[in-house]
Amino acid sequence: MIKPTVLLPFSAVLFDLDGTLVDTAPDLAYALNTLLEQEGLDALAYNAIRPVASNGSLGLIFLGFGISPDHKNYPSLQQRFIKLYQDNITRETALFDGMEEVLTTLEKANIPWGIVTNKPGFLTDPLLEQLNLTHRAACIVSSDTTPFSKPHPAPMFHACDVIQHKPEQCLYIGDAARDIEAGKNANMQTIAALYGYIANNDNPAHWQADSSINHPRDILQWL
């Protein structure tokens, strides 16, 4: 647990998507295990898949099949995995417990909130649409919205342009080292979401976030 600090006043909140705002791991796990079973392999335990969920198809296919993009079978497996995920993108996916209360509180306080994710737009957009979040978010920045993705600050600056807030006025919340690095690179205040997809070899204390939270409702202490 990172010792909380006193955050400076902020006027906008930006979230990472997978593992921070929305719990997408169950559907990513379903897609991976379905693909494994189609290939005659044993399904993996959910607890083994969850920490890898933030790493997308690259991390999940490596977890399940032990191959990288340079393997001859990778393109086909990736395409099939993505199709399975697309077809089941909100099968079990939902906001994390307590996050609806956080979003409602932000909206009532007229504090805009948005999303900056490394998920590609062709997956981000239908996911948010099906969860009825598209029109609530002040901005949605996917991995292909700008030429660079996190930890590069370009997506963060783009989000600021859309919501018309300066980076130093924004709080960014994420569950991966790249999220905190991106926020810091953009001169935003940062919070590490420890309830997210944290792998055993991750050490959030080394990310140098301004603070950390164990549950989405912990965000409310700063609002």
Partners of 116 in the beta sheet?
Answer: 141
pLDDT at 6: 60
Token output for 9: 């006043």
Please, are residues 37 and 43 in contact by the beta-carbon 8 Å criterion?
yes
Across 69-99, b (16+ Cβ under 10 Å) vs e yields: eeeeebeebbebbbebbeebbeeebebbeeb
The string of pLDDT tens digits covering residues 141-174 is 999 999 999 999 999 999 999 999 999 999 999 9
| Catalytic option among 18, 27, 210, 218 | 18
Domain residue spans in the chain? Answer: 12-23+93-222, 25-87
Helix (H, G, I), strand (E, B) or coil at 100: helix
Whether the pLDDT of residue 57 is over 60: the answer is yes
Confidence band (pLDDT; 50, 70, 90) for 1?
very low
Taking all residues of the chain, what is their mean pLDDT, rounded to a whole number? 95
Confidence band (pLDDT; 50, 70, 90) for 4?
low
User: Distance (Å, rounded) from C-alpha 119 to C-alpha 149?
Assistant: 9
27 is catalytic: no
User: Distance (Å, rounded) from C-alpha 51 to C-alpha 99?
Assistant: 20
| Fold (CATH) for 12-23+93-222 | Rossmann fold (3.40.50)
The string of pLDDT tens digits covering residues 177-210 is 999 999 999 999 999 999 999 998 899 999 999 9
Confidence band (pLDDT; 50, 70, 90) for 5?
low
pLDDT at 7: 78
- Report in angstroms the alpha-carbon separations of 113 from 80, 89, 149: 33, 23, 19
218 is catalytic: no
Q: How open is the CA angle 139-199-155, to the nearest 5 degrees?
A: 20
Across 164-188, b (16+ Cβ under 10 Å) vs e yields: ebebebbbbbbbbbbbbbbbbbbeb
pLDDT at 2: 46
Computed on alpha carbons and rounded to an integer, the radius of gyration of the chain in Å comes to 17
User: Distance (Å, rounded) from C-alpha 221 to C-alpha 58?
Assistant: 36
| Catalytic option among 16, 23, 179, 210 | 16
- Residue 31 is inside which H or E element, if any? helix 25-38
Model-level pTM? 0.94
* Average pLDDT of the residues in 89-111: 97
Q: Residue 88 corresponds to which amino acid?
A: N
pLDDT at 147: 97
